[in-house]
Amino acid sequence: MTRRVVITGLGIISPVGKTPEEFFGSLMAGHSGIKRLQTDFIEHLSVRIGAPVDNFNPGEYFTKMQLIGIERFSQFALVAAAQAVLDAGLELSDAEQLRAGVYMGSCMGGAGTMEEGYVELFQRDNPRIKPLSVLLSMNNAAASHLSIKYHLQGPNVTYATACSSSAIAVGEAYRQIRHGYADVMLAGGSEAMLTYGAMKAWEALHTLAYEDQHDASASCKPFAKNRSGLVLGEGAAVLVLEDAERAAQRGARIYAELAGYDCSSDSSHITKPDSAGQARTMLNALRNAQLRPQDIHYINAHGTATLAGDIEETKAIKQVFGTHAASVPVSSTKSMHGHLMGATGAAEFMAAVLALHHNAIPPTINLHEPDPECDLDYVPNQGRSGVKLDAVMSNSFAFGGSNAVLIAKRFS
């Protein structure tokens, strides 16, 4: 049994917008959410830039009592999901709740709570930490809060596969509906890891971008000759996925059909990307969607702006798309919203879905001198409107070699 799966609701909290409209509008305008961080630990960092969610006041969404048990990453997820559910006009009966679930991705869950606990124990020698520390920090807290809020009694799963976490969450939710195990799924990811400890750990890997000497917001430069690494960000993205027949029957507005998905492993190296593994995942997703490479009209690249990663992804696209590779637009929106880690796959897939919906392609900003080895159409600096898009692809390639590719197409 296979069924068609459609996207009927979108919600996002990101460094460049707190609604899908703001998010995509900022991307099209080339607006960057990357900046020098204003934190009390900034002087202890070598890399002092990030992509935070500014002006997020949890008190606007939650009571003081609720906030005792809801960590920042779960707050992001709940707000994004509320947008998506409202956007979809989703109302579920008691019986329908039994066949609705939640799949979310997160790399570090409640990183802030964990760090606060370590400081109390080891720095301040305080044996008493927050009683709810486990419940606040567990990776599945966000998904569990969503399941409880909306009384979703189907599958409730959290994926932690580094940068591909939320792409896999969306893809596996798609499979749940496609193969008849669920009718409706909330799927996405959430991350809030702009903490002292997390940033120092990433510094130690030497993968973070240097701050641009002239403009901190221009520090992430995917596919550019002078790129220096990724920029950490935070946020959440949640999509409502539905069985297409159910969505049509209730008259839902449909953004797109989630037509193809694959996840696979490089099985080669814990940090080094592998173009062969990435290409295999793209090809499998195309087969799953029953599409040819030339049917794809836009690719939202993983595009982290690391030296090796951008070259390997370029190679992978060439392997899959052949002569069509030079003519398909590819962009990295990480140049603007940063790397949202466990939330980035869902956010970037949302960007691709909105590109399809609006027939507009967001740019890769800060791309003034391309790396000669990155020689595709990376939509440099300026978005493109009024283009005809019928199918789009979103790539997510993670540490550990865990790759995921999602494909959306116009629903008809």
Give φ, ψ of 241 to 5 degrees: -110, 140
Residue 197, classified by CB atoms within 10 Å of its CB into exposed (0-12), middle (13-18) or buried (19+), is middle
Which of the 8 DSSP states describes residue 409? Answer: E
Q: Which residues does 234 contact at the CB level (< 8 Å), separation at least 6?
A: 15, 50, 51, 52, 53, 72, 73, 76, 191, 192, 193, 194, 340, 343
| Closest C-alpha to 399, from 209, 137, 237, 207 | 207
Catalytic residue among 302, 337, 357, 374: 302
C-alpha 322/C-alpha 101 separation (Å) is: 39
DSSP strand pairing (235-243 vs 5-13): antiparallel
Q: Which residues does 321 contact at the CB level (< 8 Å), separation at least 6?
A: 293, 294, 296, 328
Q: Which single residue is written with the structure tokens 């008809």?
A: 412
Catalytic residue among 107, 145, 163, 263: 163
C-alpha 112/C-alpha 116 separation (Å) is: 6
Q: Which single residue is written with the structure tokens 């510094």?
A: 203
Catalytic residue among 145, 297, 337, 339: 339
Q: H or E element: which one contains 188?
A: strand 184-191
302 is catalytic: yes
145 is catalytic: no
Amino acid, single-letter form, for residue 3: R
| Closest C-alpha to 190, from 79, 312, 38 | 79
C-alpha 199/C-alpha 216 separation (Å) is: 17
Which of the 8 DSSP states describes residue 366? Answer: T
Report the C-alpha dihedral over residues 79, 85, 87, 93, rounded to 10 degrees: -160
| Closest C-alpha to 68, from 133, 159, 2, 16 | 133
The residues annotated as belonging to the active site are 163, 302, 339
